[in-house]
Amino acid sequence: MPNKNKLLLVDGNSVAFRAFFALYQSLSRFKNSSGLHTNAIYAFHNMMGNIMDKEQPTHVLVAFDAGKTTFRHETFEEYKAGRSKTPSEFKEQMPYIREMCLALGIQYYELENYEADDIIGTLAKHVSKEEFDVVVLSGDKDLTQLADDHIRVEVTVKGVSELESYTPEHIREKYGLEPMQIVDMKGLAGDSSDNLPGVTGIGEKTAITLLKEYGSVEGVYDHIDEMKKSKRKENLINDKENALMSKELATINIEAPITITVDDLKYEGKDTEKLVALYKEMDFKTFLSKLDTGDYHDVSDELEEIIYEVVTEPTADMFEPGMSVYLEMLEDNYHLADIIGVTWGNEGKRYVAIGDEILSHEAMITWLEDDTLTKATYDAKAHIVALNRYGIQVKGVTFDSLLAAYLLDTNDKSEDLAEVAYHYDYKAIETDEKIYGKGAKRGVPEDEILTDHLARKVATLNYLAPVLKAHLAEKNQEKLFYDMELPLSFVLAKMEIQGIRVNAQTLMTMQQEFAVILTEIESRIYEMAGEEFNINSPKQLGVILFEKMQLPVIKKTKTGYSTAVDVLEQLKDQAPIVEEILHYRQIAKIQSTYVEGLLKVINPNDNKIHTRYVQTLTQTGRLSSVDPNLQNIPIRLEEGRKIRQAFIPREEGWEIFSSDYSQIELRVLADISQDEHLRQAFIEDQDIHTSTAMRVFDIANPDDVDGNIRRQAKAVNFGVVYGISDYGLSQNLGITRKEAKDFIDTYFEKYPGVKTYMKEIVREAKEQGYVETLWHRRRYLPDINSRNFNVRSFAERTAINTPIQGSAADILKLAMIEIDQRLEKEQLQATMLLQVHDELVFEAPSEEIPALEALVKDVMENIGTFSVPLKADSSFGPTWYEAK
DNA sequence: CATCTCACG
DNA sequence: ACGTACGTGAGATGT
């Protein structure tokens, strides 16, 4: 039927509750000027916006629960008892959520003695199927029982945007039940959130099995005599009353005496006037600006005027020690981005220059290059690299707010200055997105807007520096900042500027060879498949393998069949095409990501690749490398490893030299756990995986540790570092969970110090809400006390892994700083080029190699003081391929 | 712009 | 019973 109507019914209470917890983390940040919490209002607004956009309903209603008691309480006094008290921060927002509905042009309704579910059920089941499709939005699954051919139930999964669609098919697939049977399942299994008792000892799984056989709760009892004598049968008989009552309570009443009809619910658009008023009351500035009513400027104008001077001819008196300085670039690749403005100043004076012309003035250059004229920045590394293009060597940076903010809270990783400032209660600046726009619209605004924004940036930096310094001191992170991250950023800047030379010819030759191979494999695959298709498309490949060729489905993804390596590995023996696909994938990856990807980013001026290290991203303190990523160049498989042949020294007669830490993470673990056996193994310089194998598998002679046993021990060692779980280990080793669990138990028995460490660090995380590395790098773990098993478990593994991975990262960072100093002091030409987590790559004249080798080894092995030795191995050769 | 897959430590 | 190994970045596909 053309133009069929669509009715959207929202379970207001449960969606609001979900909204509240979706932004629970940000509770303290969402407060309006009168102190009202607004996180649930904000998230509710977004959820409604999302579903309205997606569904485009013609009719909408939000239903709310009316009061504390309903007809269900007459049946069962304890209904919904035992729920933890609704937080007051949530309760205070409910009236505004109702108001928000009206402002959005959406009716809301509640009915004495009934729940929102009943209102929704009644409307959904009574509208004409010919005229209406119905979509129900809820925060819990109770409503899924309503699903039928015309009613789809959307349940919020997590966050504000993700939904799970419950159609009758989906319910059949997920539970093997019809929607109607959901209430039978609750009857048998109960529901702890509503305090429905169900039958003792029966959970969801058992309930489903029973229902598949008997159809309903009543069906189960009709056939109860046929069941074998068992504890379960006994429980069923004893709890019959409970089962029937639970089912009754879980059943939505579709005959609620509602006084509205669907005709009252027609959606006629937002009430802009009400919305503006409400947004203002809630301090929702971004929503206001999006409304585009002209009202936004009222808010914007609330920013106090900022005083600054626009400079074209800088003079020496404009520069003083202790000023902040900021260069504006609109693209993130600062190796190439245009500088569209420069600003500097202190509390008293602020200066702004448009464009980059100012950078050719002597007074400016002298100031930037003067070590004694200290300055504070926001992303010093970007500034140093960008200014290097102008021949300016920036010196005297003594503080950086971006780095400091990252150390203070790695979760808060916005790069936008306004957002960071907001976090520290500074509001006199707009976000870059607001000023410059985003996507295709991004661009340089008119002069006055630009200079105003830049002046605000320098003002913000002046505000932030003392605030952040105080926080660093409070968290005992001053050394981490001043002796590690800040000096490291200068070293990284040098490495990025230096770049690494790449032989494009080598890559182009490979490109030709791989192209031929790919065509060959392709045609073989098409022949075996009996048709041509896009091998790169998991979707199309899935159809060929699992539908056309009928191979067994081993794993599914959210959207279809999984065709990942571990799945294909298992199918290899069943069809020859699988091996070809694996080969194709391997070569295609090398070709597109590495051969073609790297060719695209070679700078034609110097034949080098200049990556950028992101110093303020990872949760553990590692670096990341982008544009391109030089930390994931292939090595494990020979075909890919050849890519490294293209990485060469910048001069004839030079070598690529590489040095990496041996087992740095396990050594760190040995040190922080103080496990005597693990420590001893390193002190005696044993092969650690062999040593683990001997202890765990009780083998006396190292010669008796064969390859397979060592491989298993290695996996266990990895598991330990990652926060081991039996399932993870079983997956990795292809063994059963029981076997994996036995390995782990034995490991903990043989390495009791490690076990104690894990228990202690998790306990500490639960108590403090964060964990730390040896250098006080901090990671907050907001989920560590979550009631959700999965979420909590993840946080626990993170608590175990982060101090290990993070301390190892700290160690290499310190080594880099010292190596940089030593290379300078000893006046070597050798240059540090790359960092790959536990490896450093250099280039050096052949004759310097022995000196470099000694220097690097000395620094790497003697950084810090540990109860186990650190060990670094090195090698060198004409390309990176040989240097390993 | 999200999803899947796969490269590295 | 729960459904997972820790940390990253990038290319190709398809909505």
pLDDT at A11: 93
**Token pair for A624:** 């990341």
Contact between A879 and A510 under an 8 Å Cβ cutoff? The reply is: no
Window from A3-7, A385-389, A449-453, A647-651 with minimum mean pLDDT: A3-7
Mean predicted confidence (pLDDT) in A493-505: 97
> For A548 and B5, how far is CA from C1' in angstroms?
22
Residue A555: pLDDT above 60?
Answer: yes
Is pTM beyond 0.85 here?
Answer: no
**Is strand C in 7 Å reach of the CB of A719?**
yes
pLDDT score for A788 = 84
- Lowest average pLDDT, out of A26-30, A336-340, A765-769, A806-810, goes to A26-30
Question: How many H-runs (helices) and E-runs (strands) does chain A carry?
Answer: 38, 23
Residue A595 banded pLDDT, cuts 50, 70, 90: very high
**Sign of the alpha-carbon torsion through A245, A249, A252, A256:** positive
CB environment A551-564: b (16+ within 10 A), e (fewer): beebeeeeeebbbe
Determine contact, residues A455/A328, Cβ cutoff 8 Å. Answer: no
A456: Cβ contacts below 8 Å, ≥ 6 apart: A303, A306, A428, A429, A430
More confident residue, A613 or A438: A613
Query: Is the preceding peptide bond at A257 cis, omega within 30 degrees of 0?
Result: no
CA distance A519 to A524: 9
Rounded, the Å distance between the CA of A618 and C1' of C8 is 8
Q: In the predicted model, is pLDDT for residue A514 greater than 90?
A: yes
Mean pLDDT of A389-417: 93
Cα maximum dimension of chain A: 99
Between A21 and A581, whose confidence is greater? A581
Kindly give, in sequence order, each residue whose CB lies less than 8 Å from that of residue A832, ignoring residues fewer than 6 positions away: A491, A494, A495, A498, A816, A819, A820, A823, A840, A841, A842
Q: How confident is the model at residue A440 (pLDDT cuts 50, 70, 90)?
A: confident
| Model pLDDT for residues A276-318, shown as the tens digit of each residue | 888 888 878 767 766 654 433 333 446 889 999 999 999 999 9
Contact residues for strand B with beta carbon within 7 Å: A 439, 538, 557-560, 562-565, 568, 582, 585-586, 589-590, 593, 631-637, 640-641, 805, 836-839
- Closest nucleotide to A720: CA versus each C1': C5
Cβ of residue A732 near strand C, that is under 7 Å? Answer: yes
A727 touches strand C (CB under 7 A): yes
Please tell me which residue lies nearest to nucleotide C4, judged from CA to C1': A728
Residue A302's SS3 state is coil
What residue has its CA nearest to the C1' of B9?
Answer: A837
Question: In this structure, what are the phi and psi dihedrals at residue A139, rounded to the nearest 5 degrees?
Answer: -95, -10
DSSP E strand stretches across A523-571: none
pLDDT bracket for residue A87 (50, 70, 90): confident
Return the nearest residue to C15, CA–C1'. A559
The lowest-confidence range among A28-37, A124-133, A351-360 is: A28-37
CA distance A168 to A701: 61
A248 touches strand C (CB under 7 A): no
CB < 7 Å to strand C — which of 61-120 in chain A?
none
Per-residue pLDDT at A275: 84
Element (H, E) at A90: helix A88-91
User: What pLDDT is stored for residue A878 in this prediction?
Assistant: 97
Whether residue A262 contacts residue A7, with contact meaning beta carbons closer than 8 Å, is answered with yes
Least confident segment among A221-235, A367-381, A748-762 = A221-235
Q: Nearest protein residue to B8's C1' (by CA)?
A: A632
Pick out the nucleotide with least CA–C1' distance to A779: C7
pLDDT at A465 over 50: yes
The contacts of residue A159 (CB under 8 Å, 6+ apart) are: A22
Q: What would the pLDDT profile of A628-686 be if each residue is shown by its tens digit? A: 999 999 999 999 999 999 999 999 999 999 999 999 999 999 999 999 999 999 999 99
Bin A88: left if φ > 0, else alpha if -120 < ψ < 50, else beta: alpha
Using a 7 Å CB cutoff, list residues 627-646 of A near strand C: 627-629, 631-632
Mean pLDDT of A581-608: 95
Q: What's the confidence (pLDDT) of residue A171?
A: 86
The two structure tokens encoding residue A492: 């990284």
Amino acid letter, residue A730? S
- The residue among A114, A176, A166 whose CA lies nearest residue A140 is A166
What average pLDDT does the segment A184-190 reach?
A: 87
CB contact at 8 A, A112 and A283: no
Chain A span 808-847 residues with beta carbon within 7 Å of strand C: 837
**Could you tell me which residue, A407 or A89, shows the higher pLDDT?**
A407
Distance (Å, whole) CA A125 – CA A255: 9
A121 touches strand C (CB under 7 A): no
Q: Give the CA A728 to C1' C3 distance in Å.
A: 10
Q: Which residue is nearest to nucleotide C11 (CA to C1')?
A: A593
What is the arithmetic mean of pLDDT over A585-607? 95
Tally of residues, chain A: 884
- The CA angle A455-A460-A464, to the nearest 5 degrees, is 155
In sequence order, which ranges of A826-862 are alpha helices (DSSP H)?
Answer: 849-862
| Contact predicate A536/A642, CB 8 Å | no
Q: What digits encode the pLDDT tens for the residues A138-183?
A: 988 889 999 998 999 998 876 666 778 888 888 888 888 888 888 8
**Are residues A643 and A594 in contact, defined by beta-carbon separation less than 8 angstroms?**
yes
Q: What is the C-alpha to C-alpha distance for residues A346 and A359, in angstroms, rounded to an integer?
A: 19
